[in-house]
Structure 1
Amino acid sequence: MSWRELLPPWLVITAGLTGIVLLCVSTKDVPVTPLRTKYGIVLDAGSSHTILFIYQWTTTKGNKTGVIRDCSSCLVQGLGFSNYSDFPQKVEKSLESCLNWAQKEIPADQHSQTPLYFGASASMRQLNLTHPTLPDGVLAALTVALKSSPFDFQRAQILSSPEKEAFNWVAVNYVLGNFFKYDWRGQLVPSGKRTAGVLSMGRTSAQLTAGVKEENQAPMEGARLQLYGQTHSVYTRRCPCHGTDQLRSSLLSTLIQEQRSAKTMSNPCWPLSYSREVQWHSVHEGPCAVSNDTSDIPGPEVFKITGSSNPTACMGLVQRLLNTSSSCSFFKHPLSSVFKPFQTRFLVMSEAMDFMRETVRSPDLGQAVNRLCGMSVKELVKESQTSLDTLADYCLVSVFIFHLSTKGYMFDLDRSVWTAFQEKMGDPSSGWTLGYLLNLTNTVPQDSPTFLKGIEPGVWSLLLVLFVVLLTGSFMRISYRVMVKENSFSNRNSSVFDDD
């Protein structure tokens, strides 16, 4: 047999053996995580109502933390859970409707794998302080109700104020995209952005929350969170005398003392023609009183105060009031020892700011505040279904925020950001639930990945060449044998004709 006949089969044998060796030696296991939707439930127990939130994320995480993509909510029937302290047996009945709704929203095969959390804030904290034994009965009844649901109940807890504000901070920065971004390969990488702070305006206090350096963290007012492979130290500065109710009381107390001789007292921070009767002791007593000197109390106990809708006078009055305040260091010491306010952007969570975002079309905070403080009672009522007594204080709150801004903080009035924030959380006042669950996704196990055999690009190219040679050699061998057979057949036919 000639070398031409031996070459094709030897090429086939060599290429085949080499390919088999390469496949066995240079392979590695490549994990493939199945893309499956996970669900998580958080119950937000507020002072007046409770909301059940359902969040969704895929099993693929970013450095152990979930990437939440969707949210839906259900308003629990009845009052806030703190109101059931005397009737804890009613807790289960109030939850029934929303738990049934959640069972329909989440696929049945995922019920047992869906973690369920309950978090209570201000009202339950207050109840715990005044009547320490009452919240235990409510939480016990609540635990029984949630454990009987088909979901994986994890815990029920009363969050401290710093904890809640820290989770608010997480939610805001998550929506702003300050923790991570997607690179060109579609993988999660650190965003490199500076985190934003959060100013939360409540009725009883104001809280300023921001990320700080580890060494500057205040141990009693801070929290350490692990998110997307990075550790964040979050600091909260609480100002108990600068909530909406306390700001109003301080302002009215000052007005009464300054205008006691006037027949009609004027409040430049209230809308024109709005009036309210104010009891002196209700605005002058307490730890947030402007002055503790009660020797010069005005004669009558009740005063009628009418709004004059004067933005300039309101700003001057609030500025003077806050400069004399000793209960909070927002103004005298702007937290420079904790974080640098000139380098931190803040998003404000306040009903007054929500209203201003929706009704005043101005990107400039000063102009927006002037426009809001100049609105009449008719305009305020037309733009919102909120009670007039609440709307009347929006000017005061916005002026307070404006003065904070002029002291070095930069507040975010970007409507597109706020719209995204609302879409992500439904009710922005319950934004802490998103941050709470994001933090807890670190503890939710990820589905075990499957594995595929993989080879390096260089080995793959070599195998491609070898198998091309294999196919070419096989084709040449087959072609050669066909040609030999045809020639042999042709020669036999020729010899038969020659014999004839």
Structure 2
Amino acid sequence: MSLGKRQSIWRKGCFFFPLHKDTCGRGKHQICRERSSEVYPGTWYVCSSLSVQYGIVLDAGSSRTTIYLYQWPAEKENNTGVVNETMKCRVEGPGISSLGQNPAQDEASWSSMKMCMAEIMDKIPSSQQNTTPLFLGATAGMRLLRQKNNTASDKILQDMREYLQRLPLSFQNASIISGEEEGLYGWITANYLKGNLIERNLWNAWVRPGGAETVGSLDLGGASTQIAFSVPSEEVPGDPRPDGFVEVWLYGYEYNVYTHSFTCYGKDEAEKKVLASLVQVCSVENPCYLQGYSITLSAEYIFGTPCNEKPKNYNPKQEITFVGTGDPVLCRATVRTMFDLTSCQGLSNCSFNGVYQPPVSGSFMVWFIHVLCSIHCSEMYPKKNEKYLRTYCYSSNLVYTLLVDGYGFSPQTWNNIRFQNRINNNSIAWPLGYMLTLSNKIPAQAKLLQLPMDNSVFAGLLFMFSALAILSVMFLIISVVRACY
């Protein structure tokens, strides 16, 4: 299978990490891919003596594009815990799904992207650029555009491929990833960075952490939200297995991961659903906007998305002005109308909209909601970007409703969840898991390095040698005393 094509294979709820063909570069700085029955089948090995390798991922999200540069020691390319984020660059302007709509905006976006790529490439030695893998993964924004206009989404992807292929890098892949893949890659990233998959022991060997538990991942994007967490084997339903379960093999260990993506429930698209519900009841007052804030939006902005059904007598050029009232109680009630909570009543294995989900644990702090909703717009406006100002109260209610009413978090399970964007200067985001998977940095079947001896044997030997050392010192002292007297 060509590396430029989709590498992951989904079959009957299983996720298999890719195996590459037997090829090995002849140049000094080439990456060698060869199979070995004694090491990791189908994984990558480094043919050069270079100390550092690099990888680049473009996160083409719905609201913006972020470019990540990763690096890892070349001699440990197949180990974990060594891949680090060197830098990231945010491309100015909206996501790539907006390309082709505004020529001036397109020009600015392309210019910013080229500047970001120049900054990224400046961190990579020129002698290594042609072996640095380059990936692009597009998420919910492009998934929605493909649903709305497949021709437009194909053209954008083709334009991106042509641009990336012209760069002096090793372009690998540019594609729209599914919501389930996005959730799974985020789960891999979180657990990889936290060291839950593998770690170094006292002998400087890589082993699976004893007693380590994986963490679930919750991602609220602009157009979709993803949830992913591991479920114990004994709790996984039998045949027929419900949708959402994926068998993942990492370093020779199996994980049953539940992952699901809710399209149209990301922050930006969910806001449009709220606005649509207000328009349908002929209300221009928005309880989710801060007091004193007003904004005029076109009907095209609200209803020109597959997430909302167009009303009768729809006029895309119609303008609607919304005025914020900052009512936290009414805001939450309005946000809850977006979720179908009745189809899951009385069921412990259901989230919302009738979607199967096993019980999940976690916590969420909601103390700031009333404060953000009730303060006047003028108190925050001088301090915050207007682009984000109107969504503070709404976003708080969306996250709260999603966690409590949607995913089923309770006061008893709140203490296990944390809001964290970075671990050891690495972003907790799906691109790292994406790169690790497509470049096969994490082997599915790995022969873990074993301890030279069992821990109990080591402890026994340590005690024995310590006792011998003490006896030797005592014998030396006695000998000296006798010699002196």
Deviates more, 1:83-92 or 1:308-317: 83-92
RMSD: 5.0
Distance in 2 (alpha carbons) for counterparts of 1:240 and 1:122: 7
The residue identity in structure 2 corresponding to 1:424 is N
Deviation of residue 117 (structure 1)? 1.5
Query: Alignment partner of 1:208: what SS?
Result: strand
Q: 1:182 to 1:220 in 2, by over 3 A?
A: same
Query: Alignment partner of 2:196: what SS?
Result: coil
Deviations 1:274-327 (Å, cap 9, x if unpaired)? 35678999989999789x999xxxxxx998765443434544665677575559
Query: Is structure 2 residue 441 aligned with structure 1 residue 438?
Result: no
Query: Alignment partner of 1:393: what SS?
Result: helix
Q: Which has the higher contact order (CA 8 A, sep 6+)?
A: 1
Deviates more, 1:150-159 or 1:324-333: 324-333
Deviates more, 1:148-157 or 1:123-132: 123-132
Deviation of residue 383 (structure 1)? 4.5
Distance in 2 (alpha carbons) for counterparts of 1:175 and 1:266: 44
Q: 1:372 to 1:163 in 2, by over 3 A?
A: same
Deviation of residue 199 (structure 1)? 2.5
Query: What is aligned with 2:227?
Result: 208
Query: Is structure 2 residue 410 aligned with structure 1 residue 393?
Result: no
More helix by share: 1
The residue identity in structure 1 corresponding to 2:194 is L
Q: 1:189 to 1:138 in 2, by over 3 A?
A: same
Distance in 2 (alpha carbons) for counterparts of 1:141 and 1:279: 29
Query: What is aligned with 1:368?
Result: 368
Say whether the 8 Å CA contact 2:62–2:223 is kept in structure 1.
no
The residue identity in structure 1 corresponding to 2:328 is P
Alignment of 1:221-240 (within 5 A): 221=244, 223-240=246-263
Deviations 1:144-194 (Å, cap 9, x if unpaired)? 443343322222222122112211222222333332333233333223332
Which of the residues 126, 129, 133 maps onto 1:111? 129
Deviations 1:182-219 (Å, cap 9, x if unpaired)? 32333332233322222333444433222345755968
Which of the residues 302, 326, 329 maps onto 1:309? 326
Query: Alignment partner of 2:426: what SS?
Result: helix
Alignment of 1:103-142 (within 5 A): 103-142=121-160
Q: 1:372 to 1:413 in 2, by over 3 A?
A: farther
Deviations 1:238-265 (Å, cap 9, x if unpaired)? 334644456556656766788x7xxx97
Query: Alignment partner of 1:273: what SS?
Result: coil
Query: Is structure 2 residue 57 aligned with structure 1 residue 51?
Result: no
Deviates more, 1:131-140 or 1:214-223: 214-223
Q: 1:48 to 1:311 in 2, by over 3 A?
A: closer
Say whether the 8 Å CA contact 1:63–1:228 is kept in structure 2.
no
Deviation of residue 119 (structure 1)? 1.8
Identity %: 27
Deviations 1:31-57 (Å, cap 9, x if unpaired)? xx9782211111222345433221011
Query: Alignment partner of 1:235: what SS?
Result: strand
Q: Can you give the 5+ residue segments of structure 2 that lack an aligned partner in the other structure?
A: 1-45, 313-317, 444-485
Distance in 2 (alpha carbons) for counterparts of 1:138 and 1:180: 39
Say whether the 8 Å CA contact 1:59–1:66 is kept in structure 2.
no
Distance in 2 (alpha carbons) for counterparts of 1:42 and 1:208: 22
Which has the larger Rg? Answer: 1
Which of the residues 417, 421, 424 maps onto 1:418? 421
Q: 1:338 to 1:293 in 2, by over 3 A?
A: closer
Alignment of 1:79-478 (within 5 A): 80-84=95-99, 96-191=114-209, 192-212=211-231, 216=237, 221=244, 223-240=246-263, 242-244=265-267, 247-248=270-271, 268-275=287-294, 306-312=323-329, 314-315=331-332, 322=339, 333-334=350-351, 340-342=358-360, 344-345=361-362, 365-387=365-387, 388-401=389-402, 403-404=404-405, 407-408=408-409, 410=413, 414=418, 417-420=420-423, 423-425=425-427, 431-442=429-440
Q: How many residues align?
A: 383
Distance in 1 (alpha carbons) for counterparts of 2:263 and 2:158: 31
Say whether the 8 Å CA contact 1:85–1:137 is kept in structure 2.
no
Distance in 1 (alpha carbons) for counterparts of 2:331 and 2:120: 48
Say whether the 8 Å CA contact 1:55–1:68 is kept in structure 2.
yes
Say whether the 8 Å CA contact 1:65–1:439 is kept in structure 2.
no
The residue identity in structure 2 corresponding to 1:165 is G
Distance in 2 (alpha carbons) for counterparts of 1:169 and 1:187: 24
Q: Can you give the 5+ residue segments of structure 1 that lack an aligned partner in the other structure?
A: 1-32, 295-300, 347-363, 446-500
Q: 1:309 to 1:156 in 2, by over 3 A?
A: closer
- TM-score calculated relative to the size of structure 2: 0.61
Deviation of residue 424 (structure 1)? 0.7
Deviation of residue 72 (structure 1)? 0.8
Q: 1:376 to 1:170 in 2, by over 3 A?
A: farther
Distance in 2 (alpha carbons) for counterparts of 1:85 and 1:249: 22
Deviation of residue 370 (structure 1)? 3.2
Distance in 1 (alpha carbons) for counterparts of 2:286 and 2:355: 36
